Amino acid sequence: MFGNKAQMAGMMKKARKMQEDMQRMQEEIKKKTVDVTVGGGAVSLVMNGEKQIISLSISKEAIDPEDSEMLEDLITSAVNEAVKKVDSMTAEGLGKITGGLGLPGGMF
């Protein structure tokens, strides 16, 4: 019984440290950015770790009033790719902290 309390205290200490590490990692990710370019350079964007678009560049060649759908598709593709990169960056950071425990997102 006495060993179980010590074990539990140790587990709680590890859990608190993991939570602190996760919060620190999340703050670091917020400051990072990902760069994405699609359509051979037609659309480029920079997104931060909070999934906010910091900048968006559209080449003049990509602006065709007769084909706005193409530009819409390029922008959608760039945003989706940037979100995937941020998600991957976040998962990688969490994986380092949790040691691959496979904890569900938002647990901490």
Strand partners, 57: 44
Per-residue pLDDT averaged across 13-30, rounded? 88
Is 93 a domain residue?
A: yes
Identify which has the larger pLDDT, 90 or 43: 43
Is 78 a domain residue?
A: yes
Alpha-carbon distance of 33 to 36, in angstroms, equals 10
pLDDT exceeds cutoff 60 at 105 = no
Predicted local distance difference test score (pLDDT) of residue 108: 43
Is 107 a domain residue?
A: no
Identify which has the larger pLDDT, 15 or 99: 15
List the domain range (segments joined by +) for residue 70.
2-98
Residue of 91, 104, 83, 103 whose CA lies nearest to 26 = 91
Percent of the chain scoring above 70 in pLDDT? 89
Task: Report the predicted TM-score, pTM, of the whole model to 2 decimal places.
Answer: 0.75
Alpha-carbon distance of 43 to 79, in angstroms, equals 10
Residue of 100, 92, 81 whose CA lies nearest to 26 = 92
Confidence tier at 104 by pLDDT (50, 70, 90): low
Strand partners, 34: 47
Give me the helices (H) in the chain, please. 2-31, 68-98
Domain of 85, CATH number, reads: 3.30.1310.10
Is 85 a domain residue?
A: yes
